[in-house]
Structure 1
Amino acid sequence: MQLEGKRIVVTGSAQGMGATCVRAYVREGATVAAIDVRDELGRQTTSEAAATSTGPGSAVYLHADVSDRAQVDAAFDDAVHHLGGLDVLVNVAGVQRARPAAQFTDDDLDFLLGINLRGTILTNQAAFPTMRDARTGTILNFGSDAGLTAMPGLAAYSATKGGVMAWTRTIAGEWGAHGIRANSVIPAIQTPMTTSGATERSDIYSSVPLGGALGDPERDFAPVMIFLASDGARFITGQAIAVNGGLGMVR
């Protein structure tokens, strides 16, 4: 088991890539605190992950809105207490809305910025003291190809993801002295969010070089996330790591 003994927090854990991470990490022996606002789905995910574990891996569900500092801080306090520390933060929580650039409303901006960008900053800040004191830690934030190239209809979402990747590079530089590494994951993976927005983005994803479609969560995404959370990736930081079938090329 590649992650036995690892203590991991996963946000956005109720479905999609977050749920995939919870299942994969528990399967690989980690102890996971799964955070979301969709309590029924979140508890179902952790229960299913624990039920299928054949080793020491386990999971507990915690409620928190990542855009709310008080809720984030309380959830991380509970997570660290339950886990006995914190080795890895996987900040999957994210949302998307598609509109022409001139039509994004204040509500759209508050929603997208609050969860995608503010949520990333708040969860990273909440993880920092425990990781700093332990002199080790791994933070995996979620960027997007939309933050690297023009995707009409996704301007506000793109801005949040560009911000996430810029933030992640900067904390990698600042927090590396404390033994903390931080990377951005750029996924093009089939999830409920990509399914719900298929009409607006089908032309984008049909151009994926590897197969012309989004990747499979278990086959294409989970193995990469296991590696990035493991000690095998201990010398990788400040990078934008694309798991996107070549949809966008990074260097």
Structure 2
Amino acid sequence: MRLQDKRIVVTGGAQGMGESTVRAYLEAGAVVVSMDLKQDQGQAMVDSLPEELAARAKFIAVDVTRRASVTAAMSAAVEFLGGLDVLAHVAGVQRSKPTLEFTDEDIDFLVRTNLVGTMITNQAALAHMEPAGQGVILNFGSDSGLVPMKNISVYSATKGGIMAWTRSLAGEFGPSGIRVNTVVPAIKTPMTTQGRGERGAVYSSVPLGGDLGEPDADLAPVMVFLASDDSRFITGQMISVNGGLCMVR
């Protein structure tokens, strides 16, 4: 199998792209810890797995905005896994409103969860990867961090920051054998379903198929490739899984 015995942590694993990624990694032979703030839903997802996959999976609750929670969760994951080969940091949130209506609470929530949460979680993973001299980190950006999208300016700023952070890590930790890339998805999720009323015209403009992609069919295979040794010479890149919605270079 492509990810046989790879030791992987996936954040945001309770639903959407995170859940799809957890399942794909397990099916590819990995041992996976799924993390999420939604403890009941996250545990229920792992409990719903077929027996042969569930034997290689564990759920650990985490609040990515709190360093103590992330550090404890990552340590528990590494103990279960016996090390850490891959972090897929899928967890993220969105709020939508005109720019002048964003409150301090909105800004703090989005920046703390998306940008600071990525930084804290990456740091916790790197603390285990760097001594081992190898590892893969996959962070999640957004087309909205590359091109204007209405009513999500703060969210867009957090995603732009994540993409800059990812490039910096790739340069700093490449000599340590650690690859760090950004996935830029345009995929159907509970979050995009909520935003369809506002951004339906954007979603319908996707060149391939005129709609957002499917998490299992379109995103999961790319996540497996990027976690595998097949992508061993790829780092610091934005990998767009978006049907051509925004064409990067």
User: What is the alpha-carbon distance in structure 1 between the residues aligned to residue 89 and residue 155 of structure 2?
Assistant: 16
56, 70, 91: which one pairs with 1:93? 91
1:250 aligned onto 2:248: yes
CA displacement, residues 60-109 of structure 1 (integer Å, 9 cap, x when unaligned): 00011001000000000100111000000000000001111111101111
Partner of 1:31: 31
Q: What's the counterpart of residue 60 of structure 2?
A: 62
Structure 1 position 51, deviation (Å): 2.8
Distance 1:52 1:245 in 2: 33
Matching residue's letter, 2:41: L
> What's the CA shift for 1:52?
5.6
Aligned match of 2:18:
18
Partner amino acid, structure 2, of 1:21: T
Aligned counterparts, 1:146-161, within 5 A:
146-161=144-159
In the TM superposition, what whole-angstrom CA distance separates every residue of 1:131-164 from its partner, at most 9, and x where no partner exists?
1011000000000000001111010000000000
Aligned length: 249
Letter in 2 for 1:28: A
Superposition deviation, residue 47 in structure 1 = 2.0
1:241 partnered with 2:239:
yes
The C-alpha deviation readout for 1:181-219, integer Å capped at 9, x for no partner, is 000000000011101111111111010000110001111
Q: Secondary structure at the residue paired with 2:48? A: helix
What SS is found at the alignment partner of 1:173?
Answer: helix
How far is the alpha carbon of 1:48 from its aligned partner? 2.4
Contact 1:25 1:57 survives alignment (8 Å): no
Identity fraction in percent? 58
Q: 2:64 and 2:26 mapped to 1: Cα distance?
A: 22
Give the 3 Å change call, closer, same or farther, for CA 192–147 of structure 1 in structure 2.
same
2:54 is equivalent to residue 48 of structure 1: no
* Helix, strand or coil at the partner of 1:49: coil
Q: Distance in 2 between the 1:52 and 1:214 partners?
A: 31
Counterpart code for 2:80: H
The aligned residue for residue 137 of structure 1 is 135
In 2: Cα distance, 1:27 partner to 1:47 partner: 15
Give the match for residue 216 of structure 2: 218
- Structure 1's unaligned 5+ residue stretches are none
Hey, what's the Cα distance between the residues in 1 that align with 2:230 and 2:58?
A: 26
Q: State the match for 2:101 in structure 1.
A: 103
Question: What code does the residue aligned with 1:129 have?
Answer: A
Q: CA RMSD in A?
A: 1.1
Q: TM-score w.r.t. structure 2 length? A: 0.98
Checking the alignment, whether the CA contact within 8 Å between 1:47 and 1:59 is kept in structure 2 is no
Q: Which residue of 2 aligns with 1:122?
A: 120
